[in-house]
Structure 1
Amino acid sequence: MRAGETASDKNADPIALYDRAMDNLCFIRETMERAVASTAVSGIGLVAAGVVACIAAPMAAAQSARRAWLGVWLIAAAVAASVAAATMWRKARRLRTSLLSKPGRKLLLNLSPPIFAGALLTCELARRGDFDVLPAMWMLLYGAGVITGGAFSVRLVPTMGACFMVAGAFGLLFPAWQNVLLAISFGGLHLVFGALISKNHGG
């Protein structure tokens, strides 16, 4: 018997040892993937999205027509989403990983359904001319998506989602504050949490 080798090691089934080793390797790989994916959310991208929302809020409030108001926010959403996606891709590239890793896919799959539902509901409510509920719906659905998707990210991300849902609840109670709440949530929350993520999790 070699030094350091126990009787149980000597008598163990080689196939069982191989399976155990492969399980350990898979566990280590998934743990490393989760660690990398947890920092894939770009704080800089969230800050940029917050700046876009802060610019859009007074522009939207100045519109006399409701469809023009909606147009301002839809353009802002498209710009913010593009910037956030570009900064996340850049951060993932810097970390030498992929946004489509297993944890990254889980994040996207959990975030996408509420966003898709929000897009469909926005089209239908706008067609009916029912604009008053849109801000609260946006904040609630976005917050729900961030919470579920944030389960595979750092703790700050689902916390931000919960804050969005609180803002959405206020939007239902106080519809007259819709532009203020949109500025506070999509502007202020993105700025605050984006800065914290950038500071604590590498950009």
Structure 2
Amino acid sequence: MNQQQEQLATLHEIRNIMDRSSRFISLSGLSGISAGLTALAGAAVVMWYLSEQNIAYGADNNLTLTQDALLFLLTVALAVLVVALGLASFFTIRRAHKNNQRIWDNQSKRLVLNMAIPLFAGGVFCAVLLYHSILYLIAPTMLVFYGLALVNGSKYTFSDIRYLGLCELALGLVSGFFVGYGLLSWTIGFGVLHIVYGALLYFKYER
């Protein structure tokens, strides 16, 4: 009986080793937390600006922006993206070095590629919406395509990311019906959910 248990334990260990070797496991929970905090800061700046400019993000599907307002919002979005990616890269690289793991290997390449395809498609579709002045659907669209990217990339990293992706996807689809809450949904999706996911990932794998 003991021999059988030892064999089962050995098989389980082999399976864990094979699973780790096929997944990018250097992703840090602090990356998610920092990205969420950055998104919250960006959302606060946007809300402040809309209030200062008396621009109502309402549910009447008639959201219009001046060229200056649109340029400001795009600048904030780009700044949030750059800062979030920078912090995520920093914490992930730091964890990889701490664990003596390569940061750029076959697993990380597959992860980036499988996430890049939905993200690129989503970016182009958001540009189409912007071109046709359908601004109220941009926030839900970002959530939907980001969720799809996370689900698609979860095969090559922690499986927990799949659940984050499903939450982002569901939130984006729901906010597509309630467009007046698009900015709030964006804040919850890219801010709150990232912080919660990052904290769970950190305490589960890094403590």
Instruction: Map Cα deviations across residues 115-152 of structure 1 (whole Å, 9 max, x no partner).
Output: 11222233333233321111011000000000110122
Instruction: Map Cα deviations across residues 33-70 of structure 1 (whole Å, 9 max, x no partner).
Output: 236x2x32211011001001111112112334451334
Cα distance between partner residues in 2 of 1:123 and 1:83 = 26
Q: Secondary structure at the match of 2:136?
A: coil
Tell me: CA distance 1:41–1:32, structure 2 relative to 1, closer, same or farther (3 Å).
Answer: closer
AA aligned to 2:21 is E
Taking only the aligned residue pairs, the percentage that are identical comes to 22
Cα distance between partner residues in 2 of 1:80 and 1:110 = 19
Alignment-derived partner of residue 57 in structure 1? 43
Cα distance between partner residues in 1 of 2:73 and 2:80 = 11
TM-score in terms of structure 1 length: 0.78
Number of corresponding residues:
175
Cα distance between partner residues in 1 of 2:16 and 2:186 = 42
Alignment-derived partner of residue 16 in structure 1? none
Matches for 1:170-189 after TM superposition, within 5 Å: 170-189=174-193
TM-score in terms of structure 2 length: 0.76
Cα distance between partner residues in 1 of 2:19 and 2:185 = 38
Tell me: CA distance 1:104–1:30, structure 2 relative to 1, closer, same or farther (3 Å).
Answer: farther
Cα distance between partner residues in 2 of 1:71 and 1:132 = 18
* Stretches of 4+ aligned residues off by more than 4 angstroms: 27-32
Higher Rg = 1
Alignment-derived partner of residue 48 in structure 1? 34
Q: Secondary structure at the match of 1:133?
A: helix
